[in-house]
Amino acid sequence: MITPQEFLIELEMEAATTRKMLEKIPDDKFGWKPHKKSMDIKTLSTHLADLAGWPDLILRTEQLDFENMGDYEYPDLNNRAEVLAYFEKQLAVSKAALAKASVADLVPNWTLRSGETIYDVSPKGKVVRMAFSQTVHHRAQLGVFLRLLDIPIPGSYGPSADEMEMEAKAATAG
């Protein structure tokens, strides 16, 4: 089983990539979406920033019920600076939670539901992994949104086409 400390390393690695992507969002495009069925950039980037706090949420609760959110509040973020500040806040609480967690803390089941409708019941460790996967998924969506807006995107696990093009131009100019 993966340890909380290994999750912490992965969280920090993914956070660096997510941060680079969030930094590219133009404030004047928060209402933009590529398709009527898509989220707008505000909703997508807020969700992406919120996901940074999910390891903490998972470790300190037994469930998330979309019909009874309790003290969970989804923020109203309206520009890149607010999204980045919220992302950093969420990241900090998850880093602290993972730093003090034990392997035993990852074993109990955690439930994702909406009232009586149960979407998933899994060990907390598996749900933390799912939250990381959701981060990668939504970060990729944001990359597509930015690409469609002709905004150069950063690489995730190596250089992006935009970064390689910039490097090639710099090499030929010098």
Has 47 been labeled as part of a binding site? Answer: yes
Mean pLDDT estimate for the chain: 95
Weakest mean pLDDT among 54-58, 65-69, 92-96, 99-103:
65-69
What is residue 15's predicted lDDT score, i.e. its pLDDT? 98
**CATH H-level superfamily of 4-173:** dinb family like domain (1.20.120.450)
Q: Across residues 23-47, what is the average pLDDT? A: 97
Q: Across residues 45-70, what is the average pLDDT? A: 95
**Residues 73-85: tens digit of each pLDDT:** 789 999 999 999 9
What is residue 163's predicted lDDT score, i.e. its pLDDT? 87
Question: Is pTM, for the whole model, over 0.85?
Answer: yes
What is residue 7's predicted lDDT score, i.e. its pLDDT? 98
- Annotate the chain with three-state secondary structure: CCCHHHHHHHHHHHHHHHHHHHCCCCHHHCCCCCCCCCCCHHHHHHHHHHHCCHHHHHHHCCEEECCECCCCCCCCCCCHHHHHHHHHHHHHHHHHHHHHCCHHHHCCEEEEEECCEEEEEEEHHHHHHHHHHHHHHHHHHHHHHHHHCCCCCCCCCCCCHHHHHHHHHHHHHC
**Residues 124-172: tens digit of each pLDDT:** 999 999 999 999 999 999 999 999 999 999 999 999 988 888 888 888 8
Has 35 been labeled as part of a binding site? Answer: no
The residues spanned by each domain of the chain are: 4-173
Weakest mean pLDDT among 41-45, 68-72, 100-104, 138-142:
68-72
Q: Say yes or no to pLDDT of 90 above 80.
A: yes
Confidence of residue 101 (pLDDT cuts 50, 70, 90): very high
